[in-house]
Amino acid sequence: MLKRLNIKKVDEGIRRFQETVFPARRKFFEKLAKGQSPQILWITCADSRLDPLLITQMEPGELFVHRNTGNIVHPYAIPTRGGAATIEFAVSMLGVQHIVVCGHSDCGAIKGCLNPATVEALPAVREWLRHTDSLRERVVARLGHADGPEVLERAIQQNVLDQVEHLKTHPCVAEALATNKLQLHAWYYKIETGDVLTCSSLDSELISARQA
């Protein structure tokens, strides 16, 4: 019953878009139909609560978006190369000038990484999150445990930084960085406050905690 209700809502939304939104911006969409030239590749989690266009207030055509569970970018050497085709297309074909990896608060993927028991019954998710195994080990090594909301927040931010490092192993990214054609950004979106923060590593937070 709930699924039917949701689909009905989608149908109504599409109709409203076609009858109201589209006619009001017909010229915009006709121009958009001729091609795209986004300057930003936005890599983010599949989580339904994070809407890149909403939080950036950008328009269709301005963000080239890649989404998956946990905003993971595999190192280029890993055969599955999650997102490699999207990254290559964005960097080499579209010539994006920025790549943003944006994680978010309360990320279920990183919860699964920190507490593998929560994804024990999900073999595909478990396999996907194997790429974050070292994150859990580093979190425990630095903080002594992997529990609690603060640890989760720090792990989510470190995960984003890890993916930015993986981006650098992609030849098209390395080449664009070497010629100053590309900038990489590690951001963290806090659902409950609307903040978009630059990610801090596990190490740097330890240093600032010590100084305080």
Residues tagged active-site? 45, 47, 49, 104, 107
Joined together, the tokens standing for residue 70 give 């946990």
Pairing mode, if any, of strands 63-68 and 40-45? parallel
Q: Which residues make up the interface to Zn ion (CB under 5 A)?
A: 45, 47, 107, 109
Q: Which is nearer to Zn ion, 91 or 160 (CB)?
A: 160
CB of 15 to Zn ion, least distance (A): 31
CB of 61 to Zn ion, least distance (A): 25
Joined together, the tokens standing for residue 72 give 């993971």
Q: Which is nearer to Zn ion, 47 or 162 (CB)?
A: 47
Q: Which is nearer to Zn ion, 109 or 202 (CB)?
A: 109
Q: Report H helices in the chain.
A: 2-16, 22-24, 26-32, 52-56, 84-88, 108-114, 123-129, 133-143, 149-167, 171-178, 202-211
Residue with tokens 């010539």: 95
Closest CA to 150 of 114, 112, 185: 114
